[in-house]
Amino acid sequence: MCCEQPPQLTVANGHDLTPKISPHCGRSFDAITRERLLEGVLLPHSNFPRSNNENMTDMIDFQDAFRIHMGTWDEMAVRATKVRMMVFVEEQGVPLVLECDSFDAVSRHVLAVDTNGNTIGTGRLLPDGHVGRMAVLPEWRGKGVGAALLRKLMESARENGVQQLALNAQIRAVPFYTRFGFVPVGSEFVEAGILHLAMIRDLRG
């Protein structure tokens, strides 16, 4: 799940980054809530300032099968939430209370969108270089979507002067991150009921 919980994040640009549950996520997840999320009715608003560009930015084509977009949480919330709920909460059984946190508002987010306009994957980058919430719908796995999302996050990190990336990888995803130069740190641990391994990637040089 890449449920990053960087303890050093307390204040950034005047915003409190102490981990806490978003008041818009609630503590239960039923069929009605799911339907409203998928319809875009429930918008997880944040108090983080909107970007000057109201549209999703930094669009890149990948073999005409899907496109990668990058933007703020305000721009990406509904689409990213849809994918994350389907992958983490419904498929993997991650409690909703753990899936939602206050880091979304201060992160840069990426979306993968297919040629029909459907969101098929997402991920985020925290200001300190933590990568997380990487999720791709089952039918799109193994088709380069995750790789494209991660490359965009790494590119954004470099552009913003981040020297090292960090993430908590689900054990089955470790080989994927290894392909991109991430190396394990420490021992395996359980997070949200799933076995994980911390990994880092040096972006210098």
Q: Write out the DSSP string of 55-113.
A: S-EEEEEETTTEEEEEE-HHHHHHHHHHHHIIIIIIIS---HHHH--GGGGGSEEEEEE
151 phi, psi to nearest 5 deg: -60, -40
For residues 40 and 145, which has the higher predicted lDDT (pLDDT)? 145
Q: Taking CA 60 as the corner, what is the angle to CA 34 and CA 66, rounded to the nearest 5 degrees?
A: 50
Residue 167 forms beta bridges with which residues? 199
- pLDDT at position 31, please? 41
Kindly give, in sequence order, each residue whose CB lies less than 8 Å from that of residue 133, ignoring residues fewer than 6 positions away.
1, 2, 3, 80, 84, 88, 122, 123, 124
- pLDDT at position 33, please? 39
**With bands split at pLDDT 50, 70 and 90, how would you rate the model's confidence at 15?**
very low
Cβ atoms 147, 102 nearer than 8 A? no
Please check the confidence at residue 126 and state whether its pLDDT lies above 60: yes
- 35's enclosing H/E stretch is helix 31-38
Q: What is the mean pLDDT of residues 48-58?
A: 37
* Sequence letter at residue 142: G
Taking the domains of the chain in order of start, what are their residue ranges? 11-165
For residues 95 and 39, which has the higher predicted lDDT (pLDDT)? 95
- The tokens for 85 are 């709920």
Instruction: Give the CA-trace dihedral at 187, 191, 196, 198, to 10 degrees.
Output: -60
For residues 53 and 82, which has the higher predicted lDDT (pLDDT)? 82
Please check the confidence at residue 63 and state whether its pLDDT lies above 70: no
Q: What is the mean pLDDT of residues 173-202?
A: 96
3-state secondary structure (DSSP) of residue 165: strand
Task: Give the separation between CA 127 and CA 98, rounded to whole angstroms.
Answer: 20
- pLDDT at position 1, please? 59
Could you name the CATH architecture of 11-165? 3-Layer(aba) Sandwich (3.40)
Q: Is the pTM of this model over 0.85?
A: no
